Structure 1
Amino acid sequence: MNNLLCLFKVIVMILCLRESIYVNGFGERAYFSDREDNNPAYYISPALQKLEHAPEFVKDWPNISITLGQVSGVTLDNAGRVLVFHRGEHTWDEHTFTNGNIYLGIGKPAIQHKTILIFNETGELLDMWGDDFFYMPHGITVDSEGNVWTTDVALHQVFKFNATNRRVPAMVLGEKFVPGTDDHHFCKPSAVAVLSTGDFFIADGYCNHRILKYNPKGQIILQWGTHNSHSPFSLNVPHALALAENSGVVLVADRERGRVASFRHDNGSYVTSYSSWLMGPRIFSVAYSPVHGGRLYVVNGPNGVVPVRGYVLELASGRLVGTFDAPAGLASPHDVAAATDGSAVYVAQLAPHAVYKFVDERLRDEAPPAPPAPPAPPAAPPATPATLAGAVTSRGGRWAGAAAGAGAALCAGALLLRGALRRARGEPRH
């Protein structure tokens, strides 16, 4: 009996230690700690070989002679047309802003090139507009009604253009050239995502590190986001947004935390995070397709640790299932967009200035995905950062949480069994 009790003591110690490791979020960050070679590069090639290499690069797309500037954004409309947002003759570098985030080009002309180019799926240029208006383009999206939404980090503003007037915005949020932290100002806003209801989200990315939700009239409904904390609500440059309406979530490319964070789009509650040592510590953009139960298309950025390329993840499990890259490599991808059926993926790159197309022909023949589910019923008020500050899923996602829960359950079970053995031996309870 003494030997059996000693054995269970050892099991208890091991399980409790394992559970503690998961709770503290070390699961994936300790990936290399028990290897002889702690260099991640040693494991990258074998890991990539295990993934499906799809979608595949399309050569000579788009077929144009137009000179692009830094390509900051790419998106698709409901007809499958591709909108490319670029910076023309303007460049964002260390001389663009003051330390207080004031644009140093105030008083100089706006970009004279047409900054928004529209292509069909074969790469033919259909239209272009957006000249003499923007100063430092960043994010672009098209809503279900065909309105084009853009952000400009120099202007610190967000714009909505309808289909009948591309010169005068139908909605303007923020004050021209004035950064701020209140409800009426942004500081280098990075992205917009629009629900089918007309409600929309803005990632106020580079300075305020927050997500704001608005109704169709441009009135704030809610906002969330903290900085420099261990809460899952802590964001460090929310750089891009995507919507998985059929799953009820908004996805945030949390650039400097190296994750895609998922929040309920009705109330902002935290759901989970997606990250991987193979994707590295910087995630620049995310796109979503409902194909195969939901897929995320992610591009990372220069990080000095792992290759810069695209990845495909399952929404439900967070499992990496695919990877994609250009023949010459992706140097500085900035945005990614995916067709609804997942058959085409587009990547915008800052330098060299380019937009790339990737295709997965197998998905074209599959049945179209089911339409979005109806809105979820009203839920409890959004959780605050304080209530989830110790959440296990802040780094490891749902798998770390599951492992932690399993470890805790096994640990508790072992303790109960140990108590039962003691009682069988007549030992006192403390």
Structure 2
Amino acid sequence: MGEIFGTGGLSFAAQADWARLPDEIRLGDVAGIAIDRRDRVYLFNRGDHPVVVLDRQGSLVDSWGQDIFSNAHGAHIGADDCLYLTDNGDHTLRKFSLDGKLLLTIGEPKRPAPFMSGRPFCRCTHSALSPKGEIYVSDGYGNAAIHKFAPDGRHLLSWGQPGSGPGEFNLPHNICCDADGWVYVADRENHRVQVFDGNGRYETQINNMHRPSGLAITTGPCPHCIVGELAPYQPVNRLTPNLGPRVSILDQSGKLVSRLDRGAGAGLEPGQFVSPHSIALDSLGDLYVGEVAATDWLAVFPDQPKPPALRRFQKFARVAAAVNA
């Protein structure tokens, strides 16, 4: 068992050598992670093999997606057993079968909506499915909106505008739905997760976090948020401790339940992070964290050369009982 991380009775063991990839598979930044019913792990990454599939033991099952994507960003597997991949480089959400057959494309490749227009899409970031199969897409880098689509891809509604008030966004970076249909949005540069009903009505927000990037929701009647928090990038606070990068588990009031953090800031040791961009849980409560370390290295370490080899993701095996499992 690896080094143990976590607080508050919820702990995880780092499994640094879990993945066993052949030499010909070289991962880029793992921007998105999704897990299917068989606990196979889908790594949506910025390398030459955009979708890499591993079994629970960390062995390669499949790889596909060459010559399709511009910039991998978000990955999600819905209750329909389909893989939804968000590409913020060509402004699309694509739906695939788990073996890589393209089933649906939402958005026009390489044709973004006008900047901050509120219309889909301008550098969309992530997607989630409601219990009814409706598709929600966060649209964050060139927009400040959430879009809702029917299962067949028909646009139903959009909400949001730039700002910091309820229902406003400053880079909606990630999105999840719980079993009751509530929609959780990682409002990254407003340092919060906003919660909406299925029609975009603001309900509440979860605070006490720093630049939420990765986001996952636990199961159960009162789900918790698992948040990948980014480091500060500005010169004025870049060296300030206790701001991230790290992974935190928060309840609905923003109370800290557990935290994966070595307490030493950004780094490459197990349990340290450079940019925790994507988070997923398997059926046993094991935690997977994808990183965009190569993309964010100079923002986090402006005075240090980028190492020749960077970790792309980490697995943490559950040790204590999972929250709300």
Contact 1:178 1:185 in 2 (8 A): no
Q: 2:124 aligns with which of 179, 185, 189?
A: 189
Name the structure 1 match of 2:302. none
Tell me which amino acid in the other structure corresponds to 1:244: D
CA shift in 2, pair 1:185/1:321, >3 Å: closer
When the two structures are aligned, how many residues end up with a matched partner? 286
CA shift in 2, pair 1:297/1:159, >3 Å: same
Q: 1:324 aligns with which of 242, 252, 260?
A: 260
Name the SS for the 1:190 alignment partner. Answer: strand
Return the TM-score normalized by structure 2. Answer: 0.81
1:271, 1:362 → 2: CA distance?
Answer: 31
1:183, 1:291 → 2: CA distance?
Answer: 33
Name the structure 1 match of 2:167. 233
CA drift at 1:125 = 1.4
2:249, 2:148 → 1: CA distance?
Answer: 27
CA shift in 2, pair 1:254/1:143, >3 Å: same
Q: Work out whether 1:68 is the aligned partner of 2:27.
A: yes
CA drift at 1:311 = 0.5
2:14, 2:143 → 1: CA distance?
Answer: 36
Name the structure 2 match of 1:262. 195
1:122, 1:74 → 2: CA distance?
Answer: 16
Larger Rg: 1
1:319, 1:288 → 2: CA distance?
Answer: 15
Name the SS for the 1:155 alignment partner. Answer: coil
Structure 1 residues not aligned, in runs of 5+: 1-47, 89-112, 370-430
Contact 1:71 1:353 in 2 (8 A): no
CA drift at 1:59 = 2.5
Give CA deviations for 1:251-308 in whole Å, capped at 9, x if unaligned: 111111111111112x2111111121xx32x110210112584221111012123231
CA shift in 2, pair 1:159/1:53, >3 Å: same
CA shift in 2, pair 1:287/1:49, >3 Å: closer
Name the SS for the 2:124 alignment partner. Answer: coil
Q: Work out whether 1:344 is the aligned partner of 2:286.
A: yes
Contact 2:50 2:65 in 1 (8 A): yes
Tell me which amino acid in the other structure corresponds to 2:244: P
Structure 2 residues not aligned, in runs of 5+: 233-237, 262-268, 294-309
Name the structure 2 match of 1:177. 110
2:271, 2:78 → 1: CA distance?
Answer: 33
Name the structure 2 match of 1:421. none
Give CA deviations for 1:196-251 in whole Å, capped at 9, x if unaligned: 322110111111110011111211222111103x42111111111111123x3111
Percent of aligned positions that are identical:
29
Q: Which runs of structure 2 are paired with 1:144-293 in the superposition (5 Å)?
A: 144-163=79-98, 166-167=100-101, 169-181=102-114, 185-228=120-163, 230-246=164-180, 248-265=181-198, 267-276=199-208, 279-280=209-210, 282-291=211-220, 293=222
Give CA deviations for 1:351-372 in whole Å, capped at 9, x if unaligned: 13411111223337x9x95xxx
Higher helix share: 1
Give CA deviations for 1:3-36 in whole Å, capped at 9, x if unaligned: xxxxxxxxxxxxxxxxxxxxxxxxxxxxxxxxxx
1:121, 1:259 → 2: CA distance?
Answer: 32
Higher strand share: 2
Tell me which amino acid in the other structure corresponds to 1:260: V
Name the SS for the 1:245 alignment partner. Answer: coil
Contact 2:184 2:193 in 1 (8 A): yes
Return the TM-score normalized by structure 1. Answer: 0.62
Give structure 1 regions of 4+ aligned residues with deviation exceeding 6 angstroms: none
Name the SS for the 1:271 alignment partner. Answer: strand
CA RMSD, aligned part only?
A: 2.4
Contact 2:6 2:259 in 1 (8 A): no
Q: Which runs of structure 2 are paired with 1:87-102 in the superposition (5 Å)?
A: 87-88=46-47
Q: Work out whether 1:131 is the aligned partner of 2:66.
A: yes
Q: 2:40 aligns with which of 72, 81, 88?
A: 81
2:130, 2:38 → 1: CA distance?
Answer: 17
Tell me which amino acid in the other structure corresponds to 1:87: R
CA shift in 2, pair 1:49/1:195, >3 Å: closer
